[in-house]
Amino acid sequence: MIATLDGHHLSASGRTRGDVAGAGTWLLSGLTEDDALGFGLCDLGMGFPELGYVSLDELRGIRGPFGLTIERDLTFEPLATLTVYAEAARMAEGVVEDRASLEAAFERLERRAKEDRRVLKARML
């Protein structure tokens, strides 16, 4: 799915990172048909990252010092699927992007899937 957020393309692996008024990070993996909501990993920097929906209007409305707004990180290249990022964030109590943390989260997901005799769809890229 491709849509726009303030003129920038947002894809299934896109990320919007906000650091204007705090340490908020949003890894968005999709948008609703009307582009009103984004779904992904949301971390407001308080140690409780979660998967869920976020209003794109609310993201656009966030203003930090000097009127700075949230920006899309154009350099972001995903290393794993969103499920792996979510597990790593739960383990670290915040969004992490380093390969070692993501691999540890993936291994944890693999172990749980094996114990539960489930097929794991999450993967490292």
d(Cα 106, Cα 2) in Å, to the nearest integer?
A: 26
Q: What is the pLDDT of residue 13?
A: 43
Task: Give the integer Cα–Cα distance in Å for 85 and 96.
Answer: 7
Statement to judge: residues 25 and 71 lie in one domain: yes
Summarize the confidence of residues 108-113 as an average pLDDT: 98
On the question of pLDDT at 10 being above 90, the answer is no
Q: How many domains does the chain have?
A: 2
Q: How confident is the model at residue 21 (pLDDT cuts 50, 70, 90)?
A: low
Host domain of residue 39 = 1-76
Domain check: are 1 and 36 in the same one? yes
How is residue 5 written in tokens? Answer: 């957020």
User: 101 and 115 in one domain?
Assistant: yes
- 31: tokens are 């948008």
